[in-house]
Amino acid sequence: MTYDIIIKNGTLIDGTGAPARRADVGIAGGKIVEVGALSGSARRTIDAEGLVVAPGFIDPHTHYDAQICWDGGMTPSSWHGVTSVVMGNCGVGIAPCRPGAREIAMRDLVNVEAIPFEVLNAGITWDWETFPQYMEAAQRRKPALNLAFLAPLTPFRHYVMGEASMERTATAGETAEIKALLGEAMDAGAFGFSSTLLNQHLGYQGRPLACRNASREELKAYCNALRERGKGSIEFAMTRQIAVLEQPELELLDFMLEESRRPITFIAMFDRDDLPDALRETMAKVRPMIARGARPQTSPLPLTRELTMRSPFAFGAFPSWKRLFEDTSKAAQSAVYKDVNFRNQFRQDLKRPASFADWARITVHEVRSAGLKRYEGRTVAEIAAERGVDGVDALLDVTLEDDLQNEFTVQSWNTRADRMAELLNDRSVLLGLGDGGAHLDMLCDSGYPTYVLGTWVRDRKVLSLEEAVRRMTSDPADFFGIRDRGRLKAGQAADIVIFDPATVGSGGRPERLHDLPGGAKRMVVRSRGIEMTLVNGEPTWEKGALTGASAGKVLRS
């Protein structure tokens, strides 16, 4: 047989968890046509001696909804062996959207995903109105990776209810209309829908993201849209406190499982040293629901972020900080930071149980003012002690003295390696939370696949290589119902990653690039050891760079 490409001499890890074996892979017409000891000819032969050949990674939690308009490579995910991304998470997105509501949709992304308004305004093309039109527009862009879409609930509610969606529940008639639009999205190939309960998910003018106002009656209808079709899944930002599900959230999860009869993944599960028993207690509570299709989702990375005081998402859960999201101009934010009443309200917020108040975990990363350079690398706690003030005043005084241009590094809590290992070895847990395309100025976690392979597999030996690959390939594919990807076998799409197990890893501290529309900054993490990726049989990443290939597809449920 004549192949387009043969990958020879590699160590095959097929994505099922089966033991690694020596095998060749033959590709033709964008598909894997044969796996084994191959002898046919090919237009190109790739020698994978000493390398691992695996299915391309599927990232289940990204926010590239806007970025696809200006970056078909979905960087940096495409640098890390990812060949398919699931978008539209956490209930926020840009379709459907009427022309008159575009600023509201963009402001939602500004506040929830920390993407600068100027970037969105310059970069989003708006060549759609409905959700099916949005999916078609994505395909016309000929992306480098495959795109799978969840229907985010906020823009659907806003499309039907207008600004009232940010204030109240939907009427029976509005609920029926929203359900019909979700059904239309599902029929067009969406893989389900997403929503959120998180307090820090504030949208336009600092008001709650519209999906947070959905009633039980609404959610029942939207779950029924999936149940009636017998397909789709739900992503829900459900843990108001990370790693903790309280009784109302547990009841909601149970309710949605029953009404949808479909899989649900919820975020976010981490080990926390400030709440040492929370993770185990929550996992014990959800075990019966895990048996019915619930999947907790975690990130395999330490939860560290950079914080700019112009985009203070890290404090968005505190009621006192709502004012910072109502008017995001520098003058308005400066006035709030100076306000004694605001500072006192923040102090009261910090007294709540489980609120973050450890100023030793916030470090000054960078300042612009020469007079403040001595503070770089020092914690807010240290600065407060030196100045004889508390952490609130130290944080805000340094911010004002640097004209809001300073940046902090926030270590939300310490993660014990043994507890993280326990979580990673729980096969019910979905690996994800990379948030690719979001929080661009504070973190970059979308390189987690190479971190898993380098840190948790090779260095710490927490996961076997076969299990790690399964968790990032066939596991998310099966959860979402992506049936032609995630495994290396004949008939599957030729989405393949080839990597060096001895060197694969994530590139360490995020690097700053100024390559967003208008030259705005974002954080990226480089990969190591990813030798090649193929998307639908076309080499997409090779020799440390994207090739320019655009063989990605919009995946349809």
pLDDT (tens place) for every residue of the chain, 557 residues total: 899 999 999 999 999 999 999 999 999 999 999 999 998 899 999 999 999 999 999 999 999 999 999 999 999 999 999 999 999 999 999 999 999 999 999 999 998 888 889 999 999 999 999 999 999 999 999 999 999 999 999 999 999 999 999 999 999 999 999 999 999 999 999 999 999 998 878 888 888 899 999 999 999 999 999 999 999 999 999 987 778 888 999 999 999 999 999 999 999 888 776 677 888 889 999 999 999 999 999 999 876 677 888 888 778 778 899 888 888 899 999 999 999 999 999 999 888 755 566 898 889 988 999 999 999 999 999 999 999 999 999 999 999 999 999 988 887 655 677 888 888 999 999 999 999 999 887 778 899 999 999 999 999 999 999 999 999 999 999 999 999 999 999 999 999 999 999 999 997 778 889 999 999 889 899 999 999 999 999 999 999 999 999 999 999 99
Do 271 and 372 reside in the same domain of the chain?
Answer: no
Instruction: Determine how β-strand 41-47 pairs with β-strand 2-12.
Output: parallel
Do 281 and 383 reside in the same domain of the chain?
Answer: no
DSSP E strand boundaries for 2-150? 2-12, 21-28, 31-36, 41-47, 52-55, 57-59, 82-87, 146-149
Whole-prediction pTM: 0.89
Q: Which of 387, 411, 435 is the last residue of a domain?
A: 411
DSSP E strand boundaries for 386-544? 407-411, 430-431, 496-499, 505-506, 511-513, 522-524, 527-528, 530-535, 538-542
Nearest to 206 by CA among 119, 327, 121, 339: 327
First to last CA, the chain: 32
Residue 554 maps to a domain? no
Residue 27 maps to a domain? no
Domain count, the chain: 2
Residue 357, pLDDT score: 60
Residue 413, pLDDT score: 58
Residue 521 maps to a domain? no
Do 314 and 358 reside in the same domain of the chain?
Answer: yes
Tell me which long-range contacts 135-139 makes (C-beta under 8 A, separation of at least 24): 135/188, 135/189, 135/190, 135/554, 136/554, 138/68, 138/554, 139/553, 139/554
Supply 55's token pair: 């299915």
Place of tokens 């080990």: 271
Place of tokens 């939370």: 433
Cβ–Cβ < 8 Å for 299, 525: no
Q: Which of 463, 479, 496 is the last residue of a domain?
A: 463
Place of tokens 């060949």: 83
Do 98 and 241 reside in the same domain of the chain?
Answer: yes
Do 122 and 240 reside in the same domain of the chain?
Answer: yes
Residue 30 maps to a domain? no
* pLDDT tens readout for residues 38-84: 988 999 999 999 999 999 999 999 999 999 999 999 999 999 999 99
* pLDDT tens readout for residues 489-521: 999 999 999 999 999 999 777 888 999 999 988
CA distance 445 to 436: 7
Q: What is the 3-state secondary structure (H, E, C) of 266-331?
A: EECCCCCCCCCCHHHHHHHHHHHHHCCCEEEEECCCCCEEEEECCECHHHCCCHHHHHHHHCCCHH
Residue 424, pLDDT score: 93
Q: Each residue of 15-40: b (16+ CB within 10 Å) or e?
A: bbbeebeebbbbbbebbbbbbeebee
What are phi and psi for residue 26, nearest 5 degrees? Answer: -105, 135
CA distance 359 to 169: 38
User: Measured between alpha carbons, how far is residue 115 from residues 20, 330, 418, 419, 489 in Å?
Assistant: 41, 16, 34, 32, 39
Do 131 and 257 reside in the same domain of the chain?
Answer: yes
Residue type, 61: H
Residue 351, pLDDT score: 83
Supply 473's token pair: 């390939």
Do 403 and 424 reside in the same domain of the chain?
Answer: no
Do 284 and 346 reside in the same domain of the chain?
Answer: no
Radius of gyration of the chain (CA): 23
CA distance 88 to 138: 13
**Residue 95 belongs to a domain with what CATH number?**
3.20.20.140
Domain that holds residue 334: 306-411
Helices (H) and strands (E) in the chain, counts: 17, 25
Residue 415, pLDDT score: 65
Residue 538 maps to a domain? no
Do 117 and 265 reside in the same domain of the chain?
Answer: yes
Cβ–Cβ < 8 Å for 196, 183: no
Residue 534 maps to a domain? no
Residue 480 maps to a domain? no
Do 454 and 364 reside in the same domain of the chain?
Answer: no
Nearest to 217 by CA among 248, 258, 175, 158: 175
Do 293 and 398 reside in the same domain of the chain?
Answer: no
Do 147 and 265 reside in the same domain of the chain?
Answer: yes
Supply 45's token pair: 């032969």
Residue 280, pLDDT score: 87
Residue 523 maps to a domain? no
